[in-house]
Amino acid sequence: MRSRTIGASVLATTALFGLTTGCLPGGGGKAADIGRAARAAEQAPGGATPSPTAKGKDKSTGVLADLSGAEILSQSYEAMRKVESAHVVAKMHDDARQVEFDLSLDRKNDCNGAIRYEGMGKVDLIKSTDLMHFKGDADYWRAVAAKKHTPKKQTDAMVTMLADRWLKMPLSDPEATSIAHVCDLGKLTGGASKPSPLARKGETVAIDGKQALTITSAAKEGTEIDYIAAQGTPYLLKSTISGDASGEILFSAFGAPVDTALPEGADVLDLSKLRGGAPGESV
């Protein structure tokens, strides 16, 4: 199989990436968590009030403890819109598939991390100002080949050449667009225009050693619970959704720099050169 054929297969992975990133939180560009992209209308059906998160007296302290659930969410939305960078870890299960991602990203849309999609393997990403690097494992490339109905012999050759190897694309290349949007911190932290007035404050719990107020809201998929930092800046530390769709997302390392350097000694293939098809090169 010539390099031109390999290059075409590599470029075709953006279609599969579109499937992967389409399941990530914030894909609609309106939410800071998994469930918010599908937040219910301000009025819950039948006037029902979401169940409280906990029984008993709220034990939280500080200014937020004196606010309503909706007011706390409003403050959190504003805080998350101002975040310059964050580390995001998420799992979501919907339509019989699970997607997981672990990314550090910033407002410049730089990012570094990995995405796993059930049945399609793992892809590592490093995006800087001008370049996108990605590295798929063997399962990922076999999934790509299966999607393109590639014969076994060519599939094996492609996996041998590309699995666990970094591939480089300039961001000026339109093919990079479907990958690059996953690094958009703004889509993950943009927040809804306003929270439901029915959002209900619950107990205070610990999230990664930090005290957080729980806020329960209704969502189309079921019930959403946001965990808002109780001290300091009211960042969203965690959000869960349960019901027709289920999952969770955690935010941490607010303001930490994002490392966009490739690992030392990384073996990198330049897709712009593969697209040209080096004469006589084959695998």
The answer on pLDDT for 283 being more than 80 is no
DSSP tag of 282 = B
In the prediction, which pLDDT does 105 show? 94
Instruction: Tell me how far the alpha carbon of residue 111 is from its chain's centroid.
Output: 11
Residues in the chain: 283
Which DSSP string corresponds to 138-193? HHHHHHHHHHTT--HHHHHHHHHHHTT-EEEEETTSGGGHHHHGGG-HHHHH---S
DSSP letter assigned to residue 245: S
- pLDDT-derived band at 178 (thresholds 50, 70, 90) equals confident
Q: What is the mean pLDDT of the chain?
A: 76
- Res. 124 pLDDT band, cuts 50 70 90: very high
Strands of the chain (E only): list them.
85-94, 97-106, 111-117, 122-127, 131-136, 166-170, 200-207, 210-219, 222-229, 236-243, 246-252, 268-270
Count Cβ neighbours within 10 Å for each residue of 30-68 and write b for 16 or more, e otherwise: ebbbbbbbbbbeeeeeeeeebeebeeeeeebeeebeebe
Q: 3-class DSSP state for residue 14?
A: helix
Q: What is the pLDDT of residue 212?
A: 96
What confidence score (pLDDT) does residue 232 get?
Answer: 93
Domains and CATH numbers, the chain: 1-28+110-183 (no CATH), 31-91+193-257 (2.50.20.20)
pLDDT of residue 6: 43
Of 11-25, 67-81, 213-227, 251-265, where does mean pLDDT reach its minimum?
A: 11-25
Q: What are phi and psi for residue 281, nearest 5 degrees?
A: -80, 135
User: Helix, strand or coil for residue 102?
Assistant: strand
The model's confidence at residue 180, banded by pLDDT at 50, 70 and 90, is confident
Question: Coil, helix or strand for 74?
Answer: helix
User: Model pTM greater than 0.95?
Assistant: no
- Residues 32-44 have a mean pLDDT of 33
pLDDT tens-digit series, residues 191-247? 556 788 889 999 999 999 999 999 999 877 678 899 999 999 999 999 998 877 788
Classify the phi-psi angles of 119: left when phi > 0, otherwise alpha if psi is within -120 to 50, otherwise beta. Answer: left
Higher pLDDT, 101 or 206: 206
pLDDT at 2 over 80: no
Q: For 59-89, write each residue's pLDDT tens digit.
A: 444 578 789 999 999 999 999 999 999 999 9
CA 283/CA 278 separation, integer angstroms: 12
Q: Would you place residue 259 in the very low, low, confident or very high pLDDT band (cuts 50, 70, 90)?
A: very high
pLDDT of amino acid 30: 31
Tokens 């997302």 found at: 249
Measured CA to CA, the distance from residue 264 to residue 145 in angstroms comes to 29
Both tokens assigned to 232: 């300091």
pLDDT at 58: 42
Identify the CA nearest to 20 among candidates 152, 149, 113, 128: 113
| 126 CB-near residues (< 8 Å, 6+ apart) | 111, 112, 132, 133, 134, 166, 260, 261, 262
